[in-house]
Chain A
Amino acid sequence: MDKAEYVELYKQMVIIRLIEEKCEELYQKSKIGGFMHLYIGQEASGVGAISARLPQDNVITAYRDHGIAIACGMDPKVLMAEMLGKVTGCCKGKGGSMHLADINLRFWGGHAIVGAHLALATGLAWADKQKGSDGVTLCFFGDGASNIGYFHESLNLAAVWKLPVLFICENNHYGMWTPIEDASAVTDIRKKALGYDIPSDVCDGMDLLAVRKASEKAIAHIRSGKGPFFLEVMTYRYRGHSMGDQRPYRTADEIKDWQTKDPIGKFEPVMMKSGITKEQIESIHAESSKIVEEAVRFAEESPFPPMEELYTDIYVENQ
């Protein structure tokens, strides 16, 4: 990685953080509705892993998808417009926070039935393999998803069919409000991959370079035709499971402790060591703020979908 890429990836993490803070504010003002799950604290995970992909590689994730969308290259304006339910959003205002997607970025969504998209990931990968593409499918999910049947059916199928899937478990230690040790027989989720003979690795999800390096290695393994790989990214969400979650299942000290390992703060010394100045870092923040402000303005000024949209896209044919 060169200096320019450091700047680019750092900027992505900052934009994600600012977008999430802005979403929180807009949600509190009731401009964003529905369920919303913030990615704050997990930025290095999505940015690090997705930065290791090639253009032919797919990305699919669960409902905590804002950061993943930005890391895939989604325009913050389009993201913010979707959040506000506007017709200029990535799904014309029909998906909302949990269902961001952009087919042109090979970002296959935001899916909100826990674990179901692991099955979709096997299909995306199967289609690539069948068509002779060397694309790899990066499938993000939380530790909570490892307890549902889909997880096991999907890992098994991926292994039996040798599908090019990188299963990325973003272990943030809680499934909704329940700590991992109360929900999962093993707390090192990668141990579950052993049951399907899928090789695995673990990395520090608060460290951008560690995630990047582990992802590169995993993707190379898959692209060489060896079948699926399982990467467990140890991370933490600073906010609750979703908006309005202020339940006291975590201590303030625990949250504070993880914040000392903040992925954005932790990356700054690395950048400075490479010769990037403090002023440059500050200007990245200023630029990112501007981008997010513009995105909000674009979203606010965009129209809501016209009523005719209610009946569009139900079927491709027989409209």
Chain B
Amino acid sequence: MSVLTMSKALAQAMYEEMERDPNVVVLGEEVGAQGGTYGVTAGLFEKFGKDRVRDTPISEGVIVGAAVGAAMNGLRPVAEIMGINFAFLAMDQIVNHAAKIHSMFGGQFRCPLVVRTTSGGGKQLAATHSQTPDVIFAHFPGLKVVAPSTPAEAKALLKASIRTDDPVFFIEHSTMYSERGEVSDDPNFLLPIGKSDIKRKGKDVTIVTYSKMVSISLKAAAELEKEGIDVEIIDLRSLRPLDLDPVFESFKKTNRAVIVEEGWKTFGIGAEVASRIYEECFDYLDAPIERVAQKEVPLPYSAELERAAIPQVKDVIAAVKKVL
């Protein structure tokens, strides 16, 4: 085990997979000699050269399109899209091509592609650069959507995403790159895609969350513990496939749930998870399920306003108390 930052853990995942398989290639804006706009591809260009670590023009459509074509024809591209807000420019390639190539042609083609991107607000980048629209990408069968919450899982899940023969939309949180954690040195340590994880054991309330909101929820749980409230936290880790069995199991024990997401509430992950809990665990319900989510506004630039719109520890605490 080594203590690494999130960005170093991700870089190590790509480094190891590129070393293991010559078909793994990286492309994106500034991923080469510059090491990526968030520094996540640092060191790859020096080791693997410009043919395997390719800088692209600022052309999101063809970045993902070329990656899809290359994946169909035998490469395993990892395409970096600088921010999820720019992924909208590649939306057609992601949802109409990557997600469909295998099924629409009757299984002849495979699309072993990873699109890495950053999501989330909190950096005063204003409305078009601060969104958390992760759930939109989880709507499409054929695509896998992964969003890790720790450096260790980021490495193991990115490696699994590179090795799977299916297209993966891999969401990193833009404010978490410098967070540190213990990371496995074993180049063959992978985590399965589509498995939720219990981040904290508890008996009173089930919190369902993912990505950055895991750490916010853990902080809320630590506060609540002081008041004798014992919270269980489940990290979804992937939004598609969505592994809710541990959620149902937890809910049948606690009978109360709060769903915490950074994105907007309307049509959000909370809506989906809550419905599924109502469908599967109706008889176990002791209180209406609470959802903590972003205020329904485009995120403003001014720091205090932005902060007010994004879920904070106090919001999670309030929601937990409401369901008790």
Contacts and interface: CB of A to CB of B under 8 A. Distances in A.
Interface stretch (B7-15, B89-97, B223-231, B310-318): B89-97
A102 interface: yes
Contacts of B77: 123
B107 A150 contact: no
A313 B104 CA distance: 8
Interface stretch (B59-67, B119-127, B257-265): B59-67
Nearest to A131: B74
B272 interface: no
Contacts of B92: 113, 116
Interface residues on B, range: 35 or more
B105 A122 contact: no
Contacts of A101: 105, 108-109
Interface stretch (A87-95, A234-242, A289-297): A87-95
Nearest to B52: A130
Contacts of B102: 313-316
Contacts of A95: 104-106
A149 B165 CA distance: 29
A111 B164 CA distance: 24
Given A92-B106, A102-B108, A127 B74 contact: yes
B57 to A, nearest CB: 6
Nearest to B165: A316
Contact of B62 (A99, A154, A315): A154
Contacts of B107: 92, 312-313
A150 B241 contact: no
B66 A157 contact: yes
Interface string A76-104: 00000000000001111111000101110
Nearest to B97: A116
Nearest to A96: B104
Nearest to B69: A123
A108 B66 contact: no
B65 A150 contact: yes
Contacts of B106: 89-95, 313
Query: Which of A103, A113, A123 gathers most chain B CB within 10 Å?
Result: A123
B59 A156 contact: yes
Contacts of B144: 315
A160 B57 contact: yes
A318 to B, nearest CB: 6
Interface residues of A, number: 45
Interface in A98-138: 99, 101-103, 108-109, 111, 113, 116, 118-128, 130-131
A125 B75 CA distance: 11
A262 to B, nearest CB: 32
Nearest to B65: A119
Contact of B73 (A119, A123, A156, A160): A123
B293 interface: no
Contact of B69 (A99, A103, A127, A312): A127
Given A94-B106, A122-B66, A123-B73, A315 B61 contact: no
B306 interface: no
Contacts of A315: 102, 142, 144, 166
Query: Which of A89, A90, A126, A150 gathers most chain B CB within 10 Å?
Result: A126
A109 B105 contact: yes
Given A94-B105, A116-B93, A123 B70 contact: yes
A292 B271 CA distance: 53
B104 A99 contact: yes
A111 B92 CA distance: 12
Query: Which of A93, A116, A120, A314 gathers most chain B CB within 10 Å?
Result: A120
Given A156-B59, A313-B106, A314-B142, A126 B65 contact: no
Contacts of A154: 62, 65
B320 to A, nearest CB: 33
Given A95-B106, A316-B164, A119 B72 contact: no
Query: Which of B51, B69, B104 gathers most chain A CB within 10 Å?
Result: B69
Contacts of B205: none
A94 B57 contact: no
B165 to A, nearest CB: 4
B103 interface: yes
Contacts of B70: 123-124, 126-127, 130
A153 interface: yes
A267 to B, nearest CB: 32
A317 interface: yes
19 contacts: A90-B105, A91-B108, A94-B105, A95-B106, A101-B108, A119-B68, A120-B65, A120-B66, A120-B72, A122-B66, A123-B69, A123-B71, A123-B72, A124-B70, A130-B70, A150-B65, A154-B65, A313-B106, A318-B194
Interface of B: 23, 25, 51-52, 54, 56-57, 59, 61-62, 64-75, 77, 92-93, 96-97, 102-110, 141-142, 144, 164-166, 193-194, 241
Given A93-B106, A124-B69, A150-B61, 4 more contacts: A103-B108, A119-B68, A123-B71, A318-B166
Name the 4 nearest CB pairs between A and B, nearest first. A123-B69, A119-B65, A91-B106, A127-B73
